[in-house]
Structure 1
Amino acid sequence: MASISSSRDASQNEEPPEEPIPSPSHLDGIAYLYGHPLLNSLSPPLHQTIYNALGLRWSQFPLSRVYATSKTYPPPYTISPPVQKFVRHIRDAPKFVGSSVTMPWKVKVMEHLDDLTEEARQIGACNTIFLRHDQKTNRRLLVGTNTDCIGIREAVFQNTSSKDIFKGKPGLIFGGGGTARAAIYAMRKWLGCSKIYIVNRDKSEIEAILREDRQRPASNLRNVKIIPVYDLVDLAGLEEYPAIIVSAIPNLPPRSADEIRARRILEGFLTSESKGAFLEMCYHPRPWTELATLASRFGWNVILGSEALIWQGVEQAKLWTGTDIVEVPGLIQQIKNLVERAIEERVAPKVNL
C-alpha cells in the first residue's frame, strides 16, 4: 500500500479549482449527467439520440472532469462539482430540464431535493432528477426518482414470454449495492416474487439492506421477505429455487475467499433443476460477461444489462420531455442500435497502423 500512496500526484491531495457548470446559450434545454467517473458512460449519446429524434435543441453534459492524470492511482483521477453547488445551479438555471445522477451522489443528493418519488424512497437512492411545477407556490420543484428499477422491470418484461411468469416464485439478487436495492424493489413491485434470496461477498452489505428495509414503514412490498444465503450448505434447506436472478456485481473474477464463497453459492443456484431468467446488469466493457456465459451454459435465459441501461434512460427521457418515447416510431430501435455500436467499438481490437 505504501507504494500506491507514494505514487500519487500531489495535485490529487489539493482542492482542484472549480470550473463553471456548462450552460451553452445556443441550446433550449440542458440536461446533466452528475457523478464520476463518467469516461465510459453511454448516457449522453443515448439521450442525444432521443433529443434529435424529437427535434429538440437539447443536450446532456457529463459533469465529471479529469484534473490529474500523471502518477495518479487509479488513473485518471476525476471529480464532479460539490452537491450543494450542483443543486443550486440546476435550481436557478432556466434551461435545466433534468439530470441523471450516478455514484457517488445517488444517496447524498436526495437530502437537497424538494421531493422524492416512492421509487427513490423505497430504494434509498436517486438516479434521476426531474422538474415538477407547484401550482400553490408557482415554483418549479426538483424531484428525485429512481429509474434503475424501471430498467430492470422492462429488461425482464421485454425479453420474457409473459409478465406473470415470476409471480409467486422466488427471486435472487447477486450483489449488495444500489443496483441490488433497485432489483429488490422491481421484484417486489412488478415481478410479483414470493421471496427474495440475496447473495453477496460482503455480509455487512446484506445486513445494511435488511436494516434499511426494517426501518421503512410497513407496506405490502415488505411482505415479500429478503432472505440472505450466506453459505453453500444453506441451499439444501431451501424449499424453492429462484425463477429469476439479477446479477449486480462488476465483471471481475472472484479472488478473495468471500468472493469465491459467493460465486459458489450462485453456481449452486444456477445448477439447480429450476431454470428461469438471468439478468446480467453489468455491461462494461461488454454485456456478455463471464457470469452471463455461465448462466447460459446451465440453461438460463440470459438478459443483457444493456437492455436495462436503455429502458432506464427511456424512462428518464419520458420524465424530462413529457413524451412517451416508446410511441415514437423507430426510436427505440435507434437507441438499441446506438448502444450496440458503442459497445462493439469499445471491445473491438485496436489495430496499430
Structure 2
Amino acid sequence: MHYGIIGFPLSHSFSEKYFTNKFQTEGILGCDFKLFPIKEISELPELLKTNILSGFSVTIPYKEKILNFLDDIDETAQKIGAVNCVKVDYDAVNKPFLIGYNTDIFGFSMSIKPFLASQHERALILGTGGASKAVKYVLDELGIQSTFVSRLPQISNCASYEMLNKNAIKNNLLIINTTPVGMFPHTFEKPNIPYEFLTKQHLLFDLIYNPVETEFLKEGKKYGTLVENGMNMLALQAEKAWEIWNAQ
C-alpha cells in the first residue's frame, strides 16, 4: 500500500518521517509514504497515473485547490471548503476515485482543548488559507468568537495586521497562527503583530511544527504567555487520516 503527501514546498514536512516510523514501530508491513512536491495542483492527475496511492495528505498551498479534483467530499470538509486528506478508491479499470476529508479539524480540536481556559472567549486567526478554515470551524463549535487577520483582508470578518492595536490584543486572548510565516527554512520570520501587548492571560497556538519553537512562540514566552506548537496536531490529524485510508 502506498501513501504520500502533496504540497509545495515540502522541505518542512515531517509526514514521511512520521509514517515511516509508525510503520516500523507498529510492524505495519508492505506500506510506504512518500513526499510529492508538485509545483502546480494540475500535476495531480499525472502523479496518480504513475503512483498507485491508497491515500494522500494535502498541505500548503493546495488544501482549497484540491477541491476541483475530487470525485466526492465529506460533508464537513465541503462545509468549510478545505481538504487535507484524500482517500483513493479504484474502479474495475483502475481509474482513481478521490474522496476528500478534513482531519485538521480533529487534530486542532483535540490539541487545543487542554490549553483553553475561561478567559479564551475571543480569538484572532492569523491567515485565511485552508488551515484557517478548519480552525474557524473548531472555534465556532467551541463557542469562541474569532476574527481573521490577513495582509490583504478581502473576506468578511477579517482585519488587517495594521488594525492590531493594544485593544485588539487585549480583547483577544487566544491568537492562532495558521500562516507559514516562521516555518522552516524561514525560521527567523514571525507574524507582524504587536507582541508587547501580550500577557500571561494569552494563549498563542502555532500550527507550525518545524521548527518546534517559532519566533512567534518565542515572542509570546517573553511575556509569560502560554504557547503551543502544531506537533501534537500533526500527529492527531495523521492518525485520523490513517483511520480514513484504512476504513472499509
Q: TM-score scaled to structure 2, two decimals?
A: 0.79
Match of 2:143 in 1: 192
Specify which of 128, 131, 135 is matched with residue 176 of structure 1: 128
Give the drift of 1:234.
5.9
Relative distance call for 1:166 and 1:174 in structure 2 (3 A) is farther
Deviation string, structure 1 residues 211-230 (Cα, Å, up to 9, x no partner): xxxxxxxxxxxxxxx45365
- Is residue 2:73 matched to residue 1:116? yes
- Is residue 2:237 matched to residue 1:306? no
Match of 1:58 in 2: 31
Match of 2:154 in 1: 207
Higher gyration radius (CA): 1
The one-letter amino acid paired with 1:207 is Q
Give the drift of 1:156.
0.9
The one-letter amino acid paired with 1:198 is F
1:47–1:317 Cα contact (<8 Å) kept: no
Match of 2:185 in 1: none
Structure 2: give runs of 5+ residues left out of the alignment: 183-187
The one-letter amino acid paired with 1:169 is E
**In 2, distance between residues paired with 1:310 and 1:38?**
17
Task: Note the aligned Cα RMSD (angstroms).
Answer: 3.4
Give the drift of 1:43.
0.7
Relative distance call for 1:140 and 1:239 in structure 2 (3 A) is closer
Bigger fraction of residues in helix: 1
Match of 1:156 in 2: 112
- Is residue 2:58 matched to residue 1:126? no
**In 2, distance between residues paired with 1:171 and 1:86?**
39
Give the drift of 1:142.
1.9
Relative distance call for 1:245 and 1:113 in structure 2 (3 A) is same
Structure 1: give runs of 5+ residues left out of the alignment: 1-28, 66-77, 211-225, 324-353
**In 2, distance between residues paired with 1:38 and 1:318?**
23
- Is residue 2:177 matched to residue 1:247? yes
Query: How many pairs were matched up?
Result: 238
Q: Which structure is richer in relative contact order (CA contacts within 8 A, separation 6 or more)?
A: 2
Match of 2:216 in 1: 291
Q: TM-score scaled to structure 1, two decimals?
A: 0.57
